[in-house]
Structure 1
């Protein structure tokens, strides 16, 4: 269960109106997803994960942004045990990184999970071509086809068409769920299942959060709204677990892409303590007072608990508002709850400042300019 240590002034009428708007939105499908998941597809995901585990030493997950950050966050945080290792590709245009990933796979048995709603995003498209070529060279065209799993649009798009034409195993990126809200769809569930994450337990945690996370999520959203009105325009997400660095990265994408529009939105940043107490900690203690801190408090040992308490006392005393969000378990259930909590709080936060939580026009502008430069 998610708990917060603060009480915002929640306008209940406005909150309920916003919740209804999100639920009716064409991109609000994630709100009821944990309780209404397509169990037929869920069974196919687990069956595919079993097959990949049996025949591959590596699964190459190809995607960028919402197509990879969420499941990488969970896998790296929980460090589950699986004979099949996950390698990430297609999340940058670095030739060095692509060559490193190809060399890492080497002559080992591997499969590919390419994740893209359209199939035209440049970074994953380049990586997919490189790994597909390696797959065909190693296994031949027919066996290579069996080892490609495409998570894409249900009806259209370049990747959908290629997968249909070649007979790749397909999973769906739902039309009513955007990338950064898609962790609990096949986008995230297949890689997590392959890595050894208990996806049943994760969905159970998220399903419970549909009921239990609403009140704390509204509290958090309205608290952020109040702080923004007082010119606290930067939020520092703080964790005391080094393995959660990619969870922080997912949070930065979630809030940055959802809120950062029309010259509005709180700038999201992150730290990992106690490491960053010896670097950015100085700025947080004595720098500009335009920021607030949100501590994600996982169950921990006594020493870390004392560090959490010391940070809260020091930073509050230094003039920083410090919010505390705690989750009861550092496991699949806890992360299922936490993911749903932040998705809901983020969507409400965006609505409070009058922007669309589900589009990303700035990202599309960069893509357009890049395509122009590439001819």
Structure 2
């Protein structure tokens, strides 16, 4: 399935390459088409009814204009932009910055950054990391984008409260409206209440878009715009991919086809692990974004029909060529329980040739005058080959180049793929009950005084008592 921009190569997942035991047969794909048609119909219903909103994010022109206005203000007045968020509120933005900005963006002088601010992501409430960052930032020229749809994300709100207090004490309460931009629910929630009370700029997170599907909303796009990334191209790429993913036929829809391959590999071939392995350092954090959307959407105990079945593939992150020297030994000779996805670039943005040195050393002469991009892509082919020989399935997405349009298309493809495979599994891709259990326990441990917190704390104390009865070394 080839197209300009993004090409999907799935040959090495098929039985014609690696055999029937571990490869997908044409019969198996054809046999899934009826189920695929029903899943497609269900997704179309969710889209047209407005219950699931990520499908239509590429077409919100009004929101783009709002981003551009705010980002222009950021460029004029600030040298540092700090995103405060976690999970779906940070991973997509981090991926866009790593993929589309210089890897040394924050080290460049302002003119070389095109006068764009330095970009920092504050995700984890690790006191050492938080203090280290705040100690080096000139807060007079720093703006913070706080992202929480619900407004009660414990990590994000704790970080926000800490920095809110610093800004208010160091400058004034009036300064809060200058130094904070709030992305949250458009109508409700404690974060919106705070923003309105302190006259902070706000951007809406659509109520029908879940966090891990929100990269192409205000959650990801403001950070991208602040960094000078062309957000219109990001959305254009997503809109183009929407058209490519409009057919219910598996062989005409790259998102559905990859979902079907992973579904069959998991349910019929025993591939319980999905490895994401970019051969591009710039795409390294796409694997982090993928790990969340795949794990949190698909790791479920119950089907929609109420059947307990504990479903889901475990996503694993790798990076070529680095992890050829760590993980590939396991993938080639360990348990045949994985399907690997490679991400590759047909063309890198820069050239870097190996010079003709050490010509008296015959064992190095074949490397001379070759580009490092050629080396990296040949290493990918070599890894594909090793997996193929060991009858291990793999697929590959090839980007003709790494740009905003292709990255937007890749995000959108994987969102559709995740939604579609969830329909094949008959699970809800948009909730996360397993995460909620930990959230509730955290609030109880931190002393929140609601009735449900008191009940939860009884459970936690019983757990800690039982745990204490066991010895530690």
TM-score strictly above 0.5: yes
Tell me by how many angstroms 1:163 deviates. Answer: 1.0
- 1:341 matched to 2:373? The reply is no
What's 1:4 paired with? 8
- 1:103 matched to 2:135? The reply is yes
What's 2:67 paired with? 45
- Equivalent-residue separation in structure 2 for 1:16 and 1:158 (angstroms): 42
- Equivalent-residue separation in structure 2 for 1:311 and 1:131 (angstroms): 46
- 1:364 matched to 2:436? The reply is yes
What's 1:246 paired with? 285
Kept after mapping to 1: 8 A contact 2:280/2:344: no
Kept after mapping to 2: 8 A contact 1:2/1:216: no
Kept after mapping to 2: 8 A contact 1:154/1:173: yes
- Equivalent-residue separation in structure 1 for 2:147 and 2:85 (angstroms): 5
- Equivalent-residue separation in structure 2 for 1:322 and 1:111 (angstroms): 43
- Equivalent-residue separation in structure 2 for 1:138 and 1:198 (angstroms): 35
Tell me by how many angstroms 1:108 deviates. Answer: 5.2
SS state at 2:311 partner: coil
Q: Aligned residue pairs: how many?
A: 372
What's 1:273 paired with? 320
What's 1:289 paired with? 336
- Equivalent-residue separation in structure 2 for 1:58 and 1:194 (angstroms): 10
What's 2:52 paired with? 28
- 1:174 matched to 2:206? The reply is yes
- Equivalent-residue separation in structure 2 for 1:19 and 1:160 (angstroms): 36
Deviates more, 1:314-323 or 1:190-199: 314-323
Tell me by how many angstroms 1:106 deviates. Answer: 4.0
What's 2:94 paired with? 72
Q: TM-score, normalised by structure 1?
A: 0.95
Q: Which residue among 137, 153, 159 is the counterpart of 1:127?
A: 159
Tell me by how many angstroms 1:349 deviates. Answer: 1.1
Q: TM-score, normalised by structure 2?
A: 0.76
- 1:186 matched to 2:218? The reply is yes
Q: Which residue among 243, 250, 262 is the counterpart of 1:224?
A: 262
SS state at 1:272 partner: coil
Kept after mapping to 2: 8 A contact 1:118/1:152: yes
What's 2:364 paired with? none
- Equivalent-residue separation in structure 1 for 2:71 and 2:224 (angstroms): 9
- Equivalent-residue separation in structure 2 for 1:339 and 1:15 (angstroms): 21
Structure 1 unaligned spans of 5+? none
- 1:92 matched to 2:124? The reply is yes
Q: Which residue among 146, 166, 176 is the counterpart of 2:178?
A: 146
- Equivalent-residue separation in structure 1 for 2:180 and 2:340 (angstroms): 42
Deviation string 1:60-91 (CA, Å, 9 cap, x unpaired) is 100000001001101111115453011111x2
Tell me by how many angstroms 1:245 deviates. Answer: 2.0
Kept after mapping to 1: 8 A contact 2:273/2:315: yes
SS state at 1:221 partner: helix
Deviation string 1:227-267 (CA, Å, 9 cap, x unpaired) is 00211100110111122221110000010001000110111
Q: Which residue among 57, 62, 65 is the counterpart of 2:79?
A: 57
Deviates more, 1:44-53 or 1:92-101: 92-101
Larger radius of gyration: 2
What's 2:244 paired with? 212
Tell me by how many angstroms 1:113 deviates. Answer: 0.4
Tell me by how many angstroms 1:92 deviates. Answer: 1.8
SS state at 1:32 partner: helix
SS state at 1:28 partner: coil
